[in-house]
Amino acid sequence: MKLYNTMTKRKEEFVPVEEGKVKMYVCGPTVYNFIHIGNARPMIVFDTVRRYFEYKGYDVNFVSNFTDVDDKIIKKANEEGVTADEISSRFIAECKKDMEGMNIKPATTHPLATQEIDGMLSMIGTLIEKGYAYEKNGTVYFRTRRFEEYGKLSHKNLDDLRSGNRALLVSGEDEKEDPLDFVLWKPKKEGEPAWESPWSDGRPGWHIECSVMSKKYLGEQIDIHAGGEDLVFPHHENEIAQSEACNGKEFAKYWMHNAFLNIDNHKMSKSLGNFRTVREISEQYDLQVLRFFMLSAHYRSPLNFSAELMEASKNGLERIVNAADNLKYLTEHAKEEGATEAEKESLAKTAEFVTAYEAAMDDDFNTADAIAAVFDLVKFANTTANAEGSKEYAKALYDLIVKLTDVLGLIVEKKEEILDEEIEALIAERQAARKEKNFARADEIRDELAAKGIVLLDTREGVKWKKA
């Protein structure tokens, strides 16, 4: 199995630190809003990586954090006049709903930065003791010049970066020894959440969170550290400096980064107003379609989100779901019970689709080619299984499609049909629950309908619904 390592810029054979186990850490979102479809890309990609390792028989310990203390969270809390905690709790819950919709497995552990402050104080203390960090006026900085390998992940020219960042030193951060030194701990400002520390009442910098949580839940050396490509520098570079300076060993063996998702060939950004949240997409499509769309490209290629590509993904997914549905029907209704000799021969031929599928996934998780192998299998099933054949044959093909699509996190089971009257009745019950301020029941009904592919839209004329 080969994967591309950002550190060496090569595809490398995967050799686990501990036999049969994969320890992986994926940097999670900062929770101050609904996640956008860009955030969904690493979630879907690395969930698929995890599922494939599991398919291969590895025991995967998958850790992904929520950054729940950050300038953006504090800003949003101040705007709404609530605590930062309220904002982060709300959007962690919303993020988990979106993850469920995209069929992303919950991590083995989802640590929260605010729950890990002790570990951060301890790591910062060690870095100071070892001469890798220094305190100035309550702020603690990492001394990048002391860590000789600084820059090894991003392959950047540090002298250029230093001269480029010299302006920072003049404009207020002149207490730093070096323009590339970064913050490990900062003193609080008025109205900010803060924790006690030997240096000041304050809060941790962003980078230290991940070094600490990775160490606590996975140990000093892990197999894979992953995230979007924007995290290579400075975030992951800084994590390496902190962890390796503190622990004295290589932090992660493999560094994986997904390329960016663009919208209509533009970068997605707040200023362009072209941001799309996963929740918005869920009002138009089943989120399985979004997942299929994300996996239809290689994770290291930039991907462009457009209405046409989503429609194509919807059709592609439907082809697989329809084939599976047909096989399921034949499993119950085909004429014969056991497979005939001809069918047994035919089944043996399906091995070639599995081989192609695994070859694609073994080659740095080429999901696009893996999907092509699934399509070949679907075509084969559509042309060879029929009502004159056996239940056993249809079931074997069905099971194989489920097995391969499950690794991609795609659910091929058709959504249970629900009658219009049932939908209307549930909507009326939801309205009544809301009136009685029974929001738990109201949400439950919304989720129940969502699970059946029904999306509710609160409009000025009342609640409308449509099939996703």
What is the contact surface with Zn ion in residues (CB under 5 A)?
Answer: 27, 210
Q: Which CA distances in Å does 136 have to 24, 140, 207, 300, 329?
A: 35, 6, 19, 40, 71
> Rounded to the nearest whole angstrom, what is the least distance from the CB of residue 93 to ligand AMP in the complex?
16
CA 69, 70, 73, 75 torsion: positive or negative?
A: positive
Nearer residue to ligand AMP within complex by CB, 27 or 127: 27
Name the one residue in this structure whose structure tokens are 């992940």.
153
- Phi then psi for residue 63, to 5 deg, are -115, 130
Binder of ligand AMP out of 74, 184, 261, 371 (CB under 6 A) = 261
Q: Report the partner that residue 316 touches, choosing among Zn ion, ligand AMP, none (CB closer than 5 to 8 A by kind).
A: none
Q: Report the partner that residue 151 touches, choosing among Zn ion, ligand AMP, none (CB closer than 5 to 8 A by kind).
A: none
Which are the contacts of 29, defined by CB distance < 8 A and separation ≥ 6?
35, 39, 66, 67, 95
- Phi then psi for residue 6, to 5 deg, are -60, -30
CB 408 within 8 A of CB 361: no
- Give the side-chain half-sphere CA count within 13 A for 365: 28
Nearer residue to ligand AMP within complex by CB, 295 or 374: 295
Q: Report the partner that residue 184 touches, choosing among Zn ion, ligand AMP, none (CB closer than 5 to 8 A by kind).
A: none
Binder of ligand AMP out of 55, 195, 260, 465 (CB under 6 A) = 260
Q: Report the partner that residue 210 touches, choosing among Zn ion, ligand AMP, none (CB closer than 5 to 8 A by kind).
A: Zn ion
Q: Report the partner that residue 41 touches, choosing among Zn ion, ligand AMP, none (CB closer than 5 to 8 A by kind).
A: ligand AMP
Nearer residue to ligand AMP within complex by CB, 260 or 465: 260
> Rounded to the nearest whole angstrom, what is the least distance from the CB of residue 5 to ligand AMP in the complex?
17
Which are the contacts of 274, defined by CB distance < 8 A and separation ≥ 6?
263, 264, 266, 268
If binding means CB under 6 A, how many residues of this protein chain bind ligand AMP? 15
Instruction: Count CB neighbours of 266 within 10 A.
Output: 11
> Rounded to the nearest whole angstrom, what is the least distance from the CB of residue 256 to ligand AMP in the complex?
11
Binder of ligand AMP out of 73, 112, 124, 268 (CB under 6 A) = 268
> Rounded to the nearest whole angstrom, what is the least distance from the CB of residue 396 to ligand AMP in the complex?
38
> Rounded to the nearest whole angstrom, what is the least distance from the CB of residue 26 to ligand AMP in the complex?
7
Residues 19-38 vs ligand AMP: string with x where CB under 6 A? --------x-xx-------x
Is residue 231 a contact point for ligand AMP (CB under 6 A)? yes
Q: Report the partner that residue 331 touches, choosing among ligand AMP, Zn ion, none (CB closer than 5 to 8 A by kind).
A: none
Find the helix packing angle between 287-295 and 307-333, rounded to 10°. Answer: 110
Residues 37-66 that bind ligand AMP (CB under 6 A): 38-39, 41-42
Which are the contacts of 37, defined by CB distance < 8 A and separation ≥ 6?
261, 263, 268, 276, 277, 278, 281, 290, 305
234 upstream amide cis, omega within 30 of 0: yes
Name the one residue in this structure whose structure tokens are 């659910």.
411
Nearer residue to Zn ion within complex by CB, 210 or 339: 210
> Rounded to the nearest whole angstrom, what is the least distance from the CB of residue 121 to ligand AMP in the complex?
23
Nearer residue to ligand AMP within complex by CB, 42 or 151: 42
Q: Report the partner that residue 5 touches, choosing among ligand AMP, Zn ion, none (CB closer than 5 to 8 A by kind).
A: none
**Chain mean position to CA 248:** 29
| Alpha-carbon torsion, ordered 94, 97, 103, 106, to 10 deg | 80
> Rounded to the nearest whole angstrom, what is the least distance from the CB of residue 46 to ligand AMP in the complex?
9
Nearer residue to ligand AMP within complex by CB, 262 or 382: 262
* Three-state SS at 268: coil
Q: Which of 279, 261, 249, 321 is nearest to 100 (CA)?
A: 279
**Site residues for ligand AMP per CB under 6 A:** 27, 29-30, 38-39, 41-42, 227-228, 230-231, 258, 260-261, 268
